[in-house]
Structure 1
Amino acid sequence: MPDSKEIAAAIQQACQQRGWGPSKLAREVGIAEGRGPHGVDPGGVRSVKVRTALDDMCTRLNRYAGLPEADELRHTSARLLA
């Protein structure tokens, strides 16, 4: 198993390659992990609580139209709800 210095170096390298910060990298890794090897489950989000939370988040994000971060989150949630 790699030690913490090796892990930190891998994270820094991945961030530099993509031009992302560590938070963006963590978010994208989490999204990719949830997709699995074949992408998002074609059935979409099945949990009613998760679907409701995503709907609520989309509604709240509409208040911040024009902000790139809000637009990105809105698009991500729309993909999950599709």
Structure 2
Amino acid sequence: MLRVIAGIVVGLALSGCATDTGRQALGYGDYAGYTCEQLGQEAVRLMRATTNRSEHLLVDDRAERDTAMRQLAVVKRASADKSC
């Protein structure tokens, strides 16, 4: 299931959707300590944030979008490293 979620997350990351993560961006070191279940939950959270604003990419949202896209990539990498 987590591989499916990771695939969806990657698809959303590549689709260029806008997002508002609503909190500070985490790095790989933060996600490396997560369990596979936590990584899956984080991927779903980011995916939902991404789809919530997919219709409108405002100039002010670009920094948040870019941050969320980087977070999605880091979550994917951490999931792969843990063989989730």
- Class of the TM-score when normalised by the shorter of the 2 chains: 0.3 to 0.5
- Tell me which structure has the larger Cα radius of gyration: 1
Normalised to the residue count of structure 2, the TM-score between the two structures is 0.35
> What is the TM-score when the length of structure 1 is the normalising length?
0.35
Structure with greater contact order relative to length (CA < 8 Å, sep ≥ 6): 2
